[in-house]
């Protein structure tokens, strides 16, 4: 036993010797706490972050919880990173409420926080120096506009009657995350505005967007799955597909697109002439299955953010903030991609696999 | 007489501290059914374990067809044509008959099981044994116990040259009609010139099926007789012997009018049938009988360990409702189980904690366990009844059998139980510790405790008891005062099966 | 010789903890110091309560797989009462304890009275509690009061007050209560007896069923406490989550040297086990390795601890045999 202890001590000493002497002038250390790693979207963000870290010559630590419901893990990671006294933190909070105390701590300790992607909504004044994000409302409104450019769909809306209403489904991953809420709001508001030119509209489904009108010939139905797990999203998608009069569906992110595709035999049911061939579908974000759906014409198109730019700009903002420069919010933009333009170089760069 | 196939001569076997077999003989002819009998612990199993390769002999000769053989393992025994059918069924219930018979020797075609060949061979074997109602692809669990036993025998005979079959209590789990089936099966095997060693406690059965009988006692060979020339009472006399190696009690100090502390009336359960008896203050009541006679089961009913179907228990003339061991403990009944490791002790806990287990009510201050008092109590008993242990903190696991028994006793003494049930109190305990336990029991009754003692060792019963109740097949077949009790009349009552009674 | 050996094994886990701490203090970024220590302690709050609770169950030879989901279920329902039904916070906290206790009672009843194998019974409860929380909360995410809200005292009392980690006091308090229950009360003594030899305990007049139920209730109450501290530390409670967390609780118990076969174990060991896991978690993060590395290494630690348990048992058995002979 004694010998074992001695050996452990020996091992410890050798580890000690192996620690490199810290360089006199440390590069900036920036912690990136993202919302996940499993979606292709976050991989693109990470690539953007890494590119920026390289360009600016900073040390970067990137953390993403295994799933977007792992709030506790994200809080733990943030705690640990604050402990390391970073020069700046880039944060996409899963739940602002859960990290309120940590944000306060950063504010008190003078650690600048840069929000990115969905950012840190409702954070205390002055804690978030700037946010690099897509204006989700505008981005989602784009999908509503593009839907209403489809002539057959507009015809359908025009001819809708109270006894056989046209239903427009919205599949939103949750009703808590700022980006999902904004996208749904942006889409719903734009759709109501556009349809109202022809018909009365009722909004049903989740209470957040509720605006019911008795006997309206067009109904927008917002469906929120029980949990953000793909199985529950698939269930919600099935519920929408089984709604009588369903004519269009908007999916607000990559996760819900996956759910919808899972509910439609990987999208094959959306093929012209198949069970849901007439359905007008628009997506959001990218990823291989969604790109495939767009390329095959199963979707009329999808909105994409620029995750690479989000990642890159958030590091850029963080570096500036750490150096004491003034920073302000950046809109990272959105694009509409369809079967025609998906392979154009400037679009292809935005739609990650 | 038929040709002799097996002879065992001058077999000795030593276990640490025990001379288990002392100059034992046994012989077997082809087509003979030879009964091997003796009390529990007489050495029958040891002898047969030597024959089937489980143990190796320390001295002596084994001759097969007149040639000396050495049996090093059960596999070797099987190759020599010797198979044993154990009392418990050793079949895999969820597999088919064929799978069971050829387990470990499956027929293969390359890497693939050759199911058809295996089934064909099995059915051939079953047919040759006139077991045409059992088929190769039958699932064993769907067969009756008797049929399963026959599958076991078929399995034994499936080894090419099996000629010696040892059957250990084959009828223990069978019903009357099943026994008939088994007997006609055995007769068929006889006709095939298989020699059968038949171990059983049921005298009537031996008369029906066996040709010769060999009796053993205390690891020694007593004699071999032709079944036709010997009466059951003669066999019993051979079994119990004339040698009396412990002084039996000749008279009881307990008066018949001593107050009754425990009375059971018509106890019934699955294994106990209409048992009634009384226990007087300061008395040691012996419960005699062979294994499986229902003695332990009766004790477990009294101490609430098993639920009873019907029956009444009176403690000091007052009716007691005993449904759980908790109730029994409250009534002052302490049970010292025959299997201390399974039922008596928490082996991982210390001596002190074991003694304190039923006594925590008196070893606490408010909610807090009084460890100091537990220590004092444990030390008291370590001294008083001589528990040999490094200390009260030693885990019960590391104590010897006799000292473990004393720990169990201590826990009931501390509980101040008036009625103690000792179930095989000296099993697995060496001679010295035995007499210590006897002394303790005698002191206990002198101090006004009452004891029920279950034992399979008749000398022990005769030495300790004031009165003896004998059981057989779950019934109390008789009650003997110590004055009238002898090994012979106890054995007679202990083998008084229903069948025997009817004759 | 024998007692010496046992002591050696007793200090093995604490020694491992110290070695880990020293190792990461040297290699980790800003790991060493009061803040780092505080972080380690804070990250083991809810796992600590789960582990304390399930220690009792495991010593009786049982297992509770509903730890994680029950923790979040009770927290979710309590939080729902607070924020959706407008209950005062203190009453909602009591509700959390009641729910933990009731599901513990349910587990205990199934195991002790219906004789279900604990693995199956608590697996069922795991799923029931997952669903129950979602049903009651109507699948809404719930928020405990955080910094700046009316009931800010919640966080101050249960998590951190200024720079002072109040939760540490609670954890030490829970440790003391658990230690007292297990070592100083009749209940605790019976827990060991049942785990060591249930039948012997029963024949000694111990009302085994009743105590087994009590064990699961105690576990449920500890788990409910875990729920409260989860809420204090992480504020947000999602519906339909928590399964998987039980693994952390059970792992801590096993690392602490409690035998899965029942009959032996200690709360102190569990505390060490929890601290080892927390140190590993924070330490690995401080050298830049993420959460999945932590799970990866914890797995090896668990296997190592169980191997040690087996070696220890074999040694004990051997020495016992030697003594008898």
Which domains does chain A show, CATH number per domain? 27-134+306-333 (3.40.50.2300), 136-304 (3.40.50.2300)
Question: A97 and C146 in contact by Cβ < 8 A?
Answer: yes
Domain-located, residue C262: yes
Which residue, among C272, C304, C274, has the nearest Cα to C10 in the 3D structure?
C272
Nearest CB partner across the interface for A12, out of C22, C31, C241: C22
Nearest CB partner across the interface for C320, out of B305, B364, B398: B398
Residue A13's pLDDT band (boundaries 50, 70, 90)?
A: very low
Residue B180's pLDDT band (boundaries 50, 70, 90)?
A: confident
- How far apart CA A199 and CA B10 sit, in angstroms, is 111
Nearest CB partner across the interface for A83, out of C36, C141, C292: C36
Domain B4-240 has CATH 3.40.50.2000: no
For the ranges A286-295, B200-209, B329-338, C66-75, the maximum mean pLDDT occurs at C66-75
Whole-number pLDDT of residue A148: 93
- We report the CATH number of the domain holding residue C203 as 1.10.3470
Query: Which of the residue ranges A13-17, B446-450, C98-102, C319-323 would you say has the lowest mean pLDDT?
Result: A13-17
pLDDT in tens, A178-236: 788 999 999 999 999 999 999 999 999 888 898 888 889 999 999 999 888 888 899 99
**In chain B, where are the structural domains located?**
4-240, 245-332+419-429+449-503, 341-416
Q: Which domain holds residue C84?
A: 34-307
- How far apart CA C5 and CA B493 sit, in angstroms, is 55
**Domains in chain C: how many in total?**
1
What does the mean pLDDT of chain C come to? 88
Most C CBs within 10 A among B336, B349, B428, hence the mutation to make, goes to B349
Whole-number pLDDT of residue C44: 86
Whole-number pLDDT of residue B499: 57
- Nearest-by-CA chain B residue for C3: B394
Which residue, among A266, A231, A314, A301, has the nearest Cα to A44 in the 3D structure?
A314
Residue C317's pLDDT band (boundaries 50, 70, 90)?
A: low
pLDDT in tens, A287-334: 888 999 999 989 999 998 888 889 999 999 999 999 999 998 888 878
Question: A71 and C234 in contact by Cβ < 8 A?
Answer: yes
pLDDT in tens, A238-288: 999 999 899 999 999 989 999 999 998 888 888 888 888 889 999 998 888
Whole-number pLDDT of residue C161: 84
pLDDT in tens, C238-292: 888 888 889 989 999 999 988 888 888 999 999 999 999 999 888 888 887 777 7
Give every CB contact of residue C161 below 8 A, 6+ residues apart in sequence.
none
Looking at the complex, report in whole angstroms how far the Cα of residue B433 sits from the nearest Cα belonging to chain C. Answer: 13
Most B CBs within 10 A among C189, C203, C214, C323, hence the mutation to make, goes to C203
- Nearest-by-CA chain C residue for A64: C290
Whole-number pLDDT of residue C319: 62
Most C CBs within 10 A among A21, A97, A207, hence the mutation to make, goes to A97
How is residue B189 written in tokens?
A: 């095997």
Whole-number pLDDT of residue C263: 87
Q: Is the confidence at residue A9, as pLDDT, over 60?
A: no
Query: Which of the residue ranges B175-189, B439-453, B458-472, C36-50 would you say has the lowest mean pLDDT?
Result: B175-189
- Nearest-by-CA chain A residue for C46: A72
- How far apart CA C63 and CA C110 sit, in angstroms, is 13
Give every CB contact of residue A24 below 8 A, 6+ residues apart in sequence.
none
Cβ-Cβ contacts under 8 Å, C43 against chain A: 76, 79
Contacts of C among chains (3+ CB pairs under 8 A): A, B
- How far apart CA A116 and CA A129 sit, in angstroms, is 11
Q: Is the confidence at residue B251, as pLDDT, over 80?
A: no
Cβ-Cβ contacts under 8 Å, C29 against chain A: 84
Question: B305 and C203 in contact by Cβ < 8 A?
Answer: yes
Question: Are the C-beta atoms of residues B419 and B261 closer than 8 Å to each other?
Answer: yes
What does the mean pLDDT of chain B come to? 86
Looking at the complex, report in whole angstroms how far the Cα of residue A127 sits from the nearest Cα belonging to chain C. Answer: 14
Provide the whole-model pTM: 0.72
Interchain touch A–B (≥3 Cβ pairs closer than 8 Å): no
- How far apart CA B279 and CA C205 sit, in angstroms, is 22
Q: Is the confidence at residue B241, as pLDDT, over 70?
A: no
Q: Is the confidence at residue C72, as pLDDT, over 60?
A: yes
- How far apart CA B65 and CA B81 sit, in angstroms, is 12
Whole-number pLDDT of residue A1: 45
Q: B245-332+419-429+449-503 sits in which CATH class?
A: alpha beta
| β-sheet bridge partners, residue A63 | A33
- How far apart CA B492 and CA B239 sit, in angstroms, is 11
Confirm or reject contact between C18 and chain A (CB < 8 A). Answer: no
**B270-274 contact pairs (CB < 8 A, 24+):** B270/B297, B270/B309, B271/B297, B271/B474, B272/B297, B272/B298, B272/B301, B272/B308, B272/B474, B273/B473, B273/B474, B273/B475, B274/B475, B274/B476
pLDDT in tens, A83-103: 888 999 999 999 888 898 889
Nearest CB partner across the interface for A15, out of C23, C31, C285: C23
What value does the mean pLDDT take over residues B18-42?
86
| β-sheet bridge partners, residue B280 | B260
Cβ-Cβ contacts under 8 Å, A124 against chain C: 148
Cβ-Cβ contacts under 8 Å, C281 against chain A: 76
Whole-number pLDDT of residue C284: 87
Nearest CB partner across the interface for C238, out of A16, A69, A124: A69
Domain-located, residue C315: no
Q: Is the confidence at residue B424, as pLDDT, over 90?
A: no
Domain-located, residue C1: no
Whole-number pLDDT of residue C320: 55
Nearest CB partner across the interface for C199, out of B329, B342, B398: B342
Most A CBs within 10 A among C14, C82, C285, C295, hence the mutation to make, goes to C285
What value does the mean pLDDT take over residues A52-73?
89
Question: A101 and C146 in contact by Cβ < 8 A?
Answer: yes
Question: Are the C-beta atoms of residues C256 and C270 closer than 8 Å to each other?
Answer: yes
Task: Give the end-to-end CA distance of chain C in Å, rounded to a whole number.
Answer: 18
What value does the mean pLDDT take over residues C220-246?
91
Whole-number pLDDT of residue B185: 86
Contacts of B among chains (3+ CB pairs under 8 A): C
State phi, psi for B306 to the nearest 5 degrees.
-120, 150
Whole-number pLDDT of residue B348: 86
What value does the mean pLDDT take over residues C187-212?
91
H helices, E strands: number in chain A: 12, 13
Whole-number pLDDT of residue A301: 93
Q: Which residues in A have their CB inside 8 Å of a CB on C?
A: 1, 5, 8, 12, 15-16, 19, 61, 63, 65-66, 69, 71-73, 75-77, 79-80, 83-85, 94-95, 97-98, 100-101, 104, 124, 174, 176, 226-227, 229
Greater model confidence, B280 or B460: B280
Q: Is the confidence at residue B257, as pLDDT, over 90?
A: no
Nearest CB partner across the interface for A69, out of C36, C155, C241: C241
Looking at the complex, report in whole angstroms how far the Cα of residue C209 sits from the nearest Cα belonging to chain B. Answer: 11
Distances (CA, A) of B488 to A162, B196, B251, B289, B386: 103, 28, 18, 12, 36
| β-sheet bridge partners, residue C142 | C237
Question: B348 and C196 in contact by Cβ < 8 A?
Answer: yes
Which residue, among B201, B216, B169, has the nearest Cα to B25 in the 3D structure?
B216
Whole-number pLDDT of residue A10: 46
Whole-number pLDDT of residue C5: 46
Q: Any idea which residue has 């929408």 for tokens?
A: A240
Whole-number pLDDT of residue B366: 85
Q: What is the DSSP letter of B19?
A: E
Cβ-Cβ contacts under 8 Å, B356 against chain C: 189
Whole-number pLDDT of residue C321: 52
Q: Which residues in B have their CB inside 8 Å of a CB on C?
A: 16, 303, 305, 324-326, 328-330, 335, 337, 342-349, 353, 356-358, 360-361, 364, 367-369, 395, 397-401, 411, 415
Q: Is the confidence at residue B380, as pLDDT, over 90?
A: yes
Contacts of A among chains (3+ CB pairs under 8 A): C
From the number of C-beta atoms within 10 Å of its C-beta (0-12, 13-18, 19+), residue B234 rates as: middle
The answer to whether B4-240 and B245-332+419-429+449-503 have equal CATH topology is yes
Q: Is the confidence at residue B483, as pLDDT, over 60?
A: yes
- How far apart CA A107 and CA A113 sit, in angstroms, is 8
Q: Is the confidence at residue B501, as pLDDT, over 50?
A: no
Q: What is the DSSP letter of B468?
A: E
- How far apart CA A60 and CA A272 sit, in angstroms, is 47
Residue C3's pLDDT band (boundaries 50, 70, 90)?
A: very low
Domain-located, residue C324: no
Most C CBs within 10 A among B302, B333, B346, B410, hence the mutation to make, goes to B346
């Amino acid at each position: 036993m004694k010998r074992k202890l001695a050996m452990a001590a020996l091992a410890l000493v050798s580890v000690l010797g192996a620690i490199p002497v810290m360089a006199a002038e440390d590069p900036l250390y920036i912690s990136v706490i993202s919302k996940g790693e499993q979606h292709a979207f976050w991989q693109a963000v990470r690539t953007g972050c890494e590119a920026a870290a390289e360009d600016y010559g900073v040390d970067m630590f990137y953390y993403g919880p295994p799933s977007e419901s792992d709030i506790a893990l994200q809080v733990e990671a943030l705690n640990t990173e604050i402990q390391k006294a970073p020069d700046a933190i880039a944060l996409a909070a899963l739940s602002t409420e859960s990290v309120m105390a940590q944000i306060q701590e950063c504010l008190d300790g003078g650690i600048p926080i840069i929000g990115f992607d969905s950012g840190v909504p409702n954070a205390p004044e002055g804690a978030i120096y700037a946010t690099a994000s897509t204006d989700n409302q505008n981005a989602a409104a784009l999908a509503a506009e593009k839907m209403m450019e489809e002539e057959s769909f507009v015809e359908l809306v025009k001819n809708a009657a109270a006894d056989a209403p046209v239903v427009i489904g919205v599949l939103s991953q949750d009703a808590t995350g700022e980006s999902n809420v904004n996208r749904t709001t942006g889409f719903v508001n734009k759709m109501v505005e556009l349809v109202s030119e022809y018909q009365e509209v009722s909004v049903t489904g989740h209470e957040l967007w509720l605006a019911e009108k008795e006997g309206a010939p067009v109904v927008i139905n917002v469906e929120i799955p029980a949990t953000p797990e793909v199985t529950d999203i698939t269930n919600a998608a099935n519920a929408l597909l089984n709604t009588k009069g369903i004519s269009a569906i908007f999916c607000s992110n990559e996760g819900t697109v996956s759910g919808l595709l899972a509910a439609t035999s990987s999208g094959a049911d959306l093929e012209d002439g198949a069970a849901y061939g007439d359905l007008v579908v628009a997506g959001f974000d990218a990823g291989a299955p969604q790109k495939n759906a767009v390329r095959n014409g199963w979707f009329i198109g999808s909105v994409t953010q620029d995750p690479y730019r989000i990642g890159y700009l958030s590091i850029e903002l963080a570096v500036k903030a750490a150096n004491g420069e003034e920073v302000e919010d950046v809109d990272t933009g959105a694009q509409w991609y369809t079967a025609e333009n998906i392979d154009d170089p400037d679009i292809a760069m935005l739609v990650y696999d | 007489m038929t040709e002799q196939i097996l002879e065992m001569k001058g077999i000795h076997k030593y276990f640490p501290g025990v001379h288990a077999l002392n100059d034992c003989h046994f012989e077997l002819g082809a087509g003979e059914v030879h009964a091997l009998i003796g009390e529990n612990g007489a050495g029958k199993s040891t002898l047969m374990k030597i024959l089937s390769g489980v143990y190796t002999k320390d001295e002596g000769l084994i001759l097969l067809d007149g040639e000396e053989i050495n049996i090093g393992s059960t596999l070797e025994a099987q190759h020599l044509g010797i198979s044993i059918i154990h009392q418990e069924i050793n079949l895999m219930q969820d597999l088919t008959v064929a799978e069971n018979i050829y387990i470990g020797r499956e027929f293969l075609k390359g890497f693939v099981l050759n199911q058809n060949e295996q089934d064909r061979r099995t059915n051939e074997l079953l047919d040759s044994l006139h077991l045409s109602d059992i088929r190769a692809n039958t699932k064993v669990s769907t067969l009756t116990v008797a049929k399963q036993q026959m599958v076991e025998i078929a399995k034994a005979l499936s080894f090419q040259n099996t000629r010696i079959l040892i059957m250990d209590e084959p009828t223990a789990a069978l019903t009357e009609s099943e026994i008939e089936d088994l007997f006609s099966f055995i007769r068929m095997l006889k006709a095939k010139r298989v020699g059968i060693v038949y171990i059983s406690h049921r005298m009537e059965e031996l008369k029906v099926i066996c040709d010769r009988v060999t009796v053993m006692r205390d690891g020694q060979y007593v004699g071999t007789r032709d079944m036709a020339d010997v009466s059951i009472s003669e066999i019993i006399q051979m079994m119990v012997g004339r040698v009396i190696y412990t002084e039996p009690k000749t008279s009881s100090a307990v008066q018949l009018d001593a107050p009754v502390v425990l009375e059971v009336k018509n106890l019934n359960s699955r294994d106990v049938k209409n048992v009634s008896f009384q226990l007087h203050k300061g008395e040691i009541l012996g419960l005699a009988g062979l294994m499986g006679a229902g003695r332990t089961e009766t004790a477990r009913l009294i101490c609430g360990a098993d639920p009873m179907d019907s029956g009444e228990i009176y403690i000091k003339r007052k009716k007691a409702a005993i449904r759980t061991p908790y109730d029994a403990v409250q009534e002052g009944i302490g049970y010292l189980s025959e299997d201390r490791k399974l039922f008596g002790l928490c082996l991982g806990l210390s001596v002190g904690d074991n003694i304190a287990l039923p006594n925590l009510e008196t070893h606490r201050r408010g909610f807090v366990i009084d460890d100091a008092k537990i220590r004092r109590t444990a030390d008291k008993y370590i001294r008083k009844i001589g528990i040999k242990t490094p200390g009260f903190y030693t885990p019960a696991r590391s104590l010897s059998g006799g000292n473990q028994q004393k720990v169990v006793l201590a826990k009931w003494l501390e509980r101040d139980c008036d009625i103690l049930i000792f179930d095989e109190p000296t099993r697995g305990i060496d001679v010295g510790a035995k007499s210590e336990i006897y002394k303790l029991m005698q002191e206990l009754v002198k101090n006004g405790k009452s004891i029920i003692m279950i034992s399979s060792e008749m000398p022990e019963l005769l030495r300790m008891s004031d009165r003896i109740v004998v059981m057989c097949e779950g019934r109390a077949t008789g009650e003997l005062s110590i004055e009238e009790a002898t090994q012979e009349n106890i054995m007679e009552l202990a083998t008084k099966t229903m069948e025997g009674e009817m004759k | 010789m024998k007692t010496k050996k046992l002591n050696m094994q007793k200090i093995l886990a604490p020694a491992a903890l110290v070695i880990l701490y020293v190792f990461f203090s040297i290699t980790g970024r800003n790991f060493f110091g009061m803040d780092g220590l505080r972080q380690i302690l804070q990250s083991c709050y809810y796992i600590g309560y789960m582990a304390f609770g399930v220690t009792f169950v495991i010593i009786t030879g049982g297992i509770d797989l509903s730890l994680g989901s029950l923790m979040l279920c009770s927290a979710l329902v309590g939080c729902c009462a607070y924020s959706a039904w407008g209950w005062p916070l203190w009453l909602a906290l009591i509700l959390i304890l009641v729910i933990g206790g009731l599901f513990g009672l349910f587990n205990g009843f199934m195991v002790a009275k219906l004789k279900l194998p604990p693995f199956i019974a608590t697996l069922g409860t795991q799923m029931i509690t997952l669903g129950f929380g979602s049903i009651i909360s109507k699948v809404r995410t719930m928020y405990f009061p955080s910094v700046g809200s009316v009931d800010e005292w919640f966080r101050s009392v249960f998590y951190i007050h200024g720079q002072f980690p109040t939760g540490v006091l609670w954890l030490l308090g829970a440790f003391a209560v658990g230690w007292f229950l297990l070592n100083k009360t009749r209940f605790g003594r019976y827990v060991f007896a049942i785990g060591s030899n249930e039948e012997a305990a029963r024949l000694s007049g111990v009302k085994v069923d009743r105590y087994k139920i009590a064990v699961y209730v105690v576990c449920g109450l500890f788990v409910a406490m875990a729920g409260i501290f989860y809420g204090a530390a992480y504020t947000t409670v999602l519906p339909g989550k928590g399964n998987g967390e039980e693994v952390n609780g059970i792992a801590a118990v096993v690392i602490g040297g409690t035998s899965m076969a029942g009959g032996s174990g200690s709360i102190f060991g569990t505390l060490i086990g929890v601290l080892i896991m927390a140190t590993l978690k924070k330490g690995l993060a401080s050298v830049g390795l993420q959460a999945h590395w932590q799970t990866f290494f914890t797995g090896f630690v668990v296997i190592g601890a169980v191997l040690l348990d087996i070696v220890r048992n074999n040694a004990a058995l051997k020495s016992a045999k030697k003594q008898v002979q």
